[in-house]
Amino acid sequence: MKEVVLVYLDRSGGLQKFVHDCKKYNDSKQSYAVYRFIISINPSDIAELDATLGNYILHNPLQAAQIFQSVCFVAIKTLSLIEQLQTEAQISILLKPTHLPPLPSYVLSLSAYPFNYTSQRFYMSEGIVIAMGTVRKYTQGARFLCTEETCPFSEGRFRCIRVHCPGATESATVRTDFVCSLCSSPLQEDMKFRVLGDKQIVEMIDAKILNALKGYSNDKSHFRIQALTVFLR
């Protein structure tokens, strides 16, 4: 599948964009614990190249992103795109599909109950935004060092890093109770390597609420409207 990923990136122009993004990181004077890349993908085109990879991206996007991560790491090291990069774990890949298959199973309905959306895969949803919060910062990645000076993980390498994953809370990335996996000593964040991003919280509601506001009962004497909280990062 790694070979298919490389072929797709080359044919779709994603590889050229990736090289351009790497150049911006390499030319920057800022130090990063995590290098974040957004890769646009067309599920139909990938499925034509390899059906297994196309299905993997649609239904296991977090695991599929790891395949792209490995390919991107090899590309960076082979072409010497980012001199500061040390480990594969420093690369954060966000797969952004151009569209999803026009099938009911890929639509997240805000009015269906029970929801039963337990799979961590891509869904498409449409609704009305009824409230928006302010844009705030959140931690995309951070580096930690062991507080025990004799521990190898106390050196200035990127052996203990935390990367934000979709669906995770802020405390999963930055906390004060992380311990070293080698000696169990407390870990301390190296603040100069913290990578920040923007986030916004919105409240969204199903478009069917318009019928209720117009006075349409749809032959139902009782109904309930439930808003959905969406995190935009």
Buried b (16+ CB within 10 A) or exposed e, 140-175: bbbbbbbebeebebbeeebbbbbbbeeeeeeeebbe
Is the pLDDT score of 46 beyond 70? yes
- The mean pLDDT value for 37-59 works out to 93
Mean pLDDT for the chain? 88
pLDDT in tens, 164-209: 988 888 889 998 899 999 999 999 999 888 999 999 999 998 887 7
| Maximum Cα–Cα distance across the chain | 73
- pLDDT recorded at residue 165: 87
3-class SS letters over the chain? CHHHHHHHHHHHCHHHHHHHHHHHHHHCCCCCCCEEEEEEECHHHHHHHCHHHHHHHHHCHHHHHHHHHHHHHHHHHHHCCCCCCCCHHHEEEEEEECCCCCCHHHECCCCCCCCCCCCCCCCECCCEEEEECCCEEEEEEEEEEECCCCCHHHCCCCCCEEECCCCCCHHHCCCCCCECCCCCCEEEEEEEEEEEEEEEEEEEECCCHHHHHCCCCCCCCCCCCCCEEEEEC
> Which CATH number is correct for 1-99, 3.30.1640, 1.10.3470, 2.60.40, 3.30.70?
3.30.1640
- pLDDT recorded at residue 220: 58
More confident residue, 170 or 5: 5
- pLDDT recorded at residue 109: 77
- pLDDT recorded at residue 132: 96
pLDDT in tens, 17-28: 999 999 999 998
Q: Poorest-confidence range of 107-121, 156-170, 212-226?
A: 212-226
pLDDT in tens, 7-20: 999 999 999 999 99
Is the pLDDT score of 217 beyond 60? no
- The mean pLDDT value for 63-82 works out to 94
How many other C-beta atoms lie within 10 A of the C-beta of residue 194?
19
Is the pLDDT score of 107 beyond 80? yes
Give, in degrees to the nearest 5, the angle at Cα 78 between 73 and 79.
Answer: 100
- pLDDT recorded at residue 119: 78
